[in-house]
């Protein structure tokens, strides 16, 4: 309703006449207006007024973090914890938990990252209980990612573990300085806290035969457990399925995994933070061959991480998730007689288990064999044992079971028939013609395809939106006449940047490292990195150049690099010579091992420069960095350091060894090595 037009008085009016509208009129008018407004709103139907619907409360099931309560609920008395970086320790833990039923016991594998490990003293609440630890050592004596919190708790723990029974099997590599450090620490700390060691610490050596070490250890471990608890083997076969097959025929394909690590459709809708369970899809912006000749293929890749918010430092590692070769996957499907496009789920028969599936499900056989399962590593003995039942020829069954046994003959057969010729599962199926396992059972048994780690070959100070990789394509002939190809490097080699709207992309995340430049730019550095060991030092040099541009006082920077031939595989030659011209690289020492009759390696050049090296180390507090082969190069380099200390520094051999061990402890001698 409109308001009535007001009556305006003349400004020079001194005396008002009787008003046209009285107070009563205003009151009545207001009353009528109020009634009209009330009528206008009250006549509207109820549906015109938006109603707030109550939000139903959704209760998300909480993951059980008490392994004690889970053991009580499921009637288990053995828990097998694993610290695993590549999946091997997890596989061993699963195997031990499965073996327990042979002895009338019930076991469960457990990821320490998923449980409250401070509950360990409560294990005494479960009669005849035992905690087993399969602990891998990562890098230079470090715990694996999933065991980091447990490691921290162990270091600070003061709880009494009186009455807790335990055993430890460590997974390590003797080529590393801190062989099996994690296994040794866990074994020592548990005993110090009062726990009872049921069986001796096992030390597996991946430089020799880790599988054989584990089999030998557990063959003695179980009799010791039986004696300790007064039980006997039941003889029950442990070839019991852990997962059941559910085929999906009419499923919406948007609900099917296509290679994602954890969250469905995470590659279509990328959301940070990005880590091992949620990798970032980085676009390949450069992929070039580094070597000028020879049969090998050495490559440099650049991956765009601008949209990821990922941060890295020079010396960190980038982890990439590769995919298996399409031809191998198709051949496997052919031998297994399975439609690779069939969608399946493998569901854990133990409903209480935190591990619901062996890999993201539902997915197709093609996706599982391409993205999730390792089909190129030699199968472990327990896999051969379980697959033996599918061989129609009794002789083949016997051979497979013999290879899985702990007998000397069986170990020798496994070594000569599987490990030496590097037979992967496809080769096994091709060479044992009567072996045709159930495809779903094979998928259950095969280990997960693991991320591959590469030392980042760039500095974020110079390349904040990309990470660089330097790698050599792995390719070798086997004694069976096959050619084995490295999974990740072959896949990366074919990652060519494209401009057709479908750029190549790589799932990745960054793993922090202790391989760091000194805090002060003025501190001298000595870098030793032959071959692709040059990778982190390209990042270091880029950063030292950036520091120099910022006007900082940059200390002496020495590089020892090695390759076969100057004109063939001198990686980053132009870049290194430019760093030298700029004064960033104060000394470039390159050993060309095969350009002359007698071979020359980086350690030989170090011995020639021992006076200068010792001066940098002892008088100028230089930081030392070694990257590359752990088995030979890293040891020979360490010997060259010892020789300099002995011959120039007048130390005894024992003193020299102790001197460089102290440098490692202080963080002045860092290694990024692999075997």
- pLDDT tens digits for 270-282? 999 999 999 999 9
The catalytically annotated residue of 364, 455, 458, 466 is: 455
Q: What is the DSSP letter of 615?
A: I
pLDDT at residue 141 greater than cutoff 70: yes
pLDDT band at 32 (very low <50, low <70, confident <90, very high): low
How are beta strands 298-304 and 280-289 bridged, if at all? Answer: antiparallel
Secondary structure (3-state) at 363 = strand
* Those residues with Cβ within 8 angstroms of residue 153's Cβ, 6 or more apart along the chain or in another chain: 117, 118
Domain ranges of the chain: 67-229, 272-322+451-513, 324-450, 525-673
The reply to whether 67-229 and 525-673 are identical in fold is: yes
Average pLDDT rounded to a whole number, residues 128-145: 93
pLDDT the model gives residue 138: 87
pLDDT the model gives residue 157: 87
Neighbours of 549 (CB within 10 A): 13
pLDDT the model gives residue 240: 79
The β-bridge partners of 501 are none
> What is the CATH code for 272-322+451-513?
2.40.30.10
Average pLDDT rounded to a whole number, residues 49-61: 37
Please provide the size of the chain in residues: 675
pLDDT at residue 20 greater than cutoff 50: no
The answer to pTM > 0.85 is yes
pLDDT at residue 111 greater than cutoff 50: yes
Q: What is the DSSP letter of 635?
A: H
> Comparing 24-33, 77-86, 392-401, 408-417, which segment has the lowest mean pLDDT?
24-33
Tokens found for residue 121: 């003293």
Known binding site: residues?
84-89, 136-139, 171-180, 206, 296, 452-455, 470-472, 476, 486-489, 532, 593-594, 599-603, 636, 674
pLDDT the model gives residue 657: 96
DSSP assignment of 509-540, as one string? Answer: EEE--S----SSTTS-EEEE--GGGGHHHHHH
pLDDT the model gives residue 631: 87
With beta carbons less than 8 A apart as the criterion, state whether 452 and 279 touch.
Answer: no
Alpha helices in 516-649 (DSSP H): 535-549, 566-569, 573-582, 602-608, 610-614, 633-647
* Those residues with Cβ within 8 angstroms of residue 562's Cβ, 6 or more apart along the chain or in another chain: 530, 531, 590, 591, 592, 593, 601, 602
Tokens found for residue 163: 């009455």
Average pLDDT rounded to a whole number, residues 276-294: 96
pLDDT at residue 17 greater than cutoff 90: no
With beta carbons less than 8 A apart as the criterion, state whether 539 and 575 touch.
Answer: no
Known catalytic residue at 134? no
Q: Tokens 């390209």 identify what position?
A: 538
Average pLDDT rounded to a whole number, residues 413-428: 97
Known catalytic residue at 455? yes
With beta carbons less than 8 A apart as the criterion, state whether 604 and 638 touch.
Answer: no
Q: What is the DSSP letter of 372?
A: I
* CA pair distance 305, 300, nearest whole angstrom: 16
Q: Of the segments 63-67, 343-347, 403-407, which one has the largest average pLDDT value?
A: 343-347
pLDDT band at 232 (very low <50, low <70, confident <90, very high): confident
pLDDT the model gives residue 16: 37
Known catalytic residue at 674? yes
Phi, psi angles (nearest 5°) of residue 394: -55, -35
Mean pLDDT of the chain: 90
Which residue in 281, 233, 285 sits closest to 258, CA to CA? 281
Element (H, E) at 210: helix 210-229
Average pLDDT rounded to a whole number, residues 200-206: 96
The β-bridge partners of 133 are 81, 168
Known catalytic residue at 39? no
With beta carbons less than 8 A apart as the criterion, state whether 366 and 340 touch.
Answer: yes
pLDDT at residue 3 greater than cutoff 90: no
The Cα diameter of the chain in Å comes to 129
Average pLDDT rounded to a whole number, residues 234-239: 65
pLDDT at residue 129 greater than cutoff 80: yes
pLDDT the model gives residue 208: 86
pLDDT the model gives residue 350: 87
* CA pair distance 115, 606, nearest whole angstrom: 49
Secondary structure (3-state) at 575 = helix
pLDDT at residue 14 greater than cutoff 90: no
* CA pair distance 544, 521, nearest whole angstrom: 7
* Those residues with Cβ within 8 angstroms of residue 234's Cβ, 6 or more apart along the chain or in another chain: 101, 102, 103, 104
Which residue in 660, 632, 670 sits closest to 207, CA to CA? 632
DSSP assignment of 315-361, as one string? Answer: T-EEEE-----HHHHHHHHHHHT--TT-EEEEEES-TT-S---SSSS
pLDDT at residue 31 greater than cutoff 90: no
* CA pair distance 315, 312, nearest whole angstrom: 8
* CA pair distance 502, 517, nearest whole angstrom: 38
pLDDT at residue 584 greater than cutoff 60: yes
> Mind listing the pLDDT tens digit for each residue in 59-87?
334 557 899 999 999 999 999 999 999 89
Average pLDDT rounded to a whole number, residues 238-260: 89
pLDDT the model gives residue 351: 84
Average pLDDT rounded to a whole number, residues 602-610: 97
DSSP assignment of 398-448, as one string? Answer: HHHHHHTSSSHHHHHHHIIIIITTT--HHHHHHHSTTB---HHHHHHHSPB
* Domain spanning 67-229: CATH 3.30.1330.60: no
Q: Which of the pair, 12 or 526, is modelled with greater confidence?
A: 526
May I ask the CATH architecture of the domain 525-673?
A: 3-Layer(aba) Sandwich (3.40)
Average pLDDT rounded to a whole number, residues 291-299: 95
DSSP assignment of 243-266, as one string? Answer: EEEEEESS--GGGSBSS-SSSTTT
pLDDT the model gives residue 236: 62
* Those residues with Cβ within 8 angstroms of residue 32's Cβ, 6 or more apart along the chain or in another chain: none
Q: Tokens 């807790």 identify what position?
A: 164
Known binding site for FAD: residues?
452-455, 470-472, 476, 486-489, 674
Strand ranges in 389-500 using DSSP code E only, listed in sequence order: 452-455, 466-472, 475-477, 483-485
The catalytically annotated residue of 304, 466, 627, 670 is: 627
pLDDT the model gives residue 30: 64
Peptide bond preceding 20 in cis form (omega within 30 of 0): no
pLDDT band at 46 (very low <50, low <70, confident <90, very high): very low
> Mind listing the pLDDT tens digit for each residue in 142-193?
999 999 999 999 999 888 999 999 999 999 999 888 899 999 999 999 999 9
Q: Class for domain 324-450, per CATH?
A: mainly alpha
pLDDT the model gives residue 38: 55
Estimate to the nearest angstrom the gap between the alpha carbon of 570 and the chain centroid: 31
How are beta strands 165-172 and 466-472 bridged, if at all? Answer: unpaired
* CA pair distance 132, 128, nearest whole angstrom: 13
Known binding site for FMN: residues?
84-89, 136-139, 171-180, 206
Which residue in 415, 487, 417, 418 sits closest to 451, CA to CA? 487
> Comparing 6-10, 486-490, 592-596, 626-630, which segment has the lowest mean pLDDT?
6-10
């Amino acid at each position: 309703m409109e308001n009535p037009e007001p009556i305006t008085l003349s400004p020079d009016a001194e005396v008002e006449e009787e008003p046209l509208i009285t107070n009563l009129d205003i009151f009545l008018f207001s009353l009528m207006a109020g009634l009209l407004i009330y009528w206008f709103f009250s006549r509207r139907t109820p549906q015109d007024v938006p109603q707030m619907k109550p939000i139903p409360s959704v209760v998300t099931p909480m993951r059980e973090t008490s392994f004690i309560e889970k053991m009580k609920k499921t009637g288990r008395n053995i828990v097998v914890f694993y610290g695993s970086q590549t999946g091997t320790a997890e596989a061993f833990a699963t195997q031990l938990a499965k073996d327990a039923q042979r002895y009338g016991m019930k076991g469960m594998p457990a990821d320490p990252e998923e449980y409250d490990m401070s509950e360990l003293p409560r294990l005494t609440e479960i009669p005849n209980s035992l905690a087993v630890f399969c602990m891998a050592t990562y890098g230079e004596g470090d715990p694996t990612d999933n065991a980091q919190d447990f490691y921290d708790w162990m270091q600070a723990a003061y709880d009494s573990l009186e009455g807790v029974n335990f055993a430890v099997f460590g997974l390590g590599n003797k080529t590393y300085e801190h062989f099996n450090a994690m296994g040794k620490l866990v074994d020592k700390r548990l005993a110090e806290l009062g726990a009872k060691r049921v069986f001796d610490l096992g030390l597996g050596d991946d430089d020799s035969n880790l599988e054989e070490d584990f089999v030998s250890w557990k063959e003695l471990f179980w009799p010791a457990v039986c004696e300790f608890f007064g039980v006997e083997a039941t003889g029950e076969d442990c070839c019991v399925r852990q997962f059941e097959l559910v085929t999906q025929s009419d499923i919406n394909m948007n609900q099917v995994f296509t290679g994602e690590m954890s969250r469905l459709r995470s590659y279509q809708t990328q959301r940070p933070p990005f880590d091992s369970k949620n990798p970032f899809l980085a676009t390949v912006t450069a992929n070039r061959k580094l070597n000028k000749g020879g049969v090998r293929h050495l490559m440099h890749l650049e991956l765009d991480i601008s949209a990821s918010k990922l941060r890295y430092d020079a010396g960190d590692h980038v982890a990439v998730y590769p995919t298996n070769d399409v031809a191998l996957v198709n051949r496997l499907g052919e031998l297994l007689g399975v439609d690779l496009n069939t969608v399946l789920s493998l569901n854990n028969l133990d409903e209480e288990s935190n591990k619901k599936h062996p890999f993201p499900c539902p997915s197709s056989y093609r996706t599982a064999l391409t993205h999730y399962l390792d089909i190129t590593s030699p199968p472990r003995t327990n896999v051969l044992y379980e697959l033996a039942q599918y061989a129609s020829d009794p002789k083949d069954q016997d051979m497979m079971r013999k290879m899985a046994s702990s007998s000397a003959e069986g170990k020798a057969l496994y070594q000569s028939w599987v490990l030496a010729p590097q037979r992967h599962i496809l080769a096994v199926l091709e060479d044992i013609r009567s072996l045709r396992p159930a495809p779903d059972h094979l998928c259950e048994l095969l280990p997960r395809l693991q991320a591959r780690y590469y030392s980042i070959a760039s500095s974020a100070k110079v390349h904040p939106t990309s990470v660089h990789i330097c790698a050599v394509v792995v390719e070798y002939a086997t004694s069976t006449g096959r050619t084995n190809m490295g999974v990740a490097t072959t896949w990366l080699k074919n990652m060519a940047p494209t401009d057709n709207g479908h750029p190549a992309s790589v799932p990745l995340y960054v793993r922090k490292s202790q391989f760091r430049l000194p805090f002060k730019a003025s501190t001298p550095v000595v870098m030793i990195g032959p071959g692709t060991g040059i990778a982190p030092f390209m990042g270091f040099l880029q950063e030292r150049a950036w520091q120099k541009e910022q006007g900082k006082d940059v200390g002496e920077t020495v590089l020892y690099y090695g390759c076969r031939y100057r004109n063939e595989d001198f990686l980053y030659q132009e870049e290194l010579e430019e760093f030298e011209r700029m004064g960033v690289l104060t000394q470039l020492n390159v050993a060309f091992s095969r350009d002359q009759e007698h071979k020359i390696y980086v350690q030989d050049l170090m011995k020639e420069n021992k006076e200068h090296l010792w001066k940098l180390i002892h008088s100028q507090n230089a930081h030392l960095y070694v990257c590359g082969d752990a088995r030979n190069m890293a040891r020979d380099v360490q010997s060259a350091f010892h020789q300099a200390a002995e011959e120039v520094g007048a130390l005894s051999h024992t003193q020299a060894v102790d001197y460089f061990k102290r440098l490692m402890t202080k963080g002045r001698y860092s290694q990024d090595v692999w075997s």
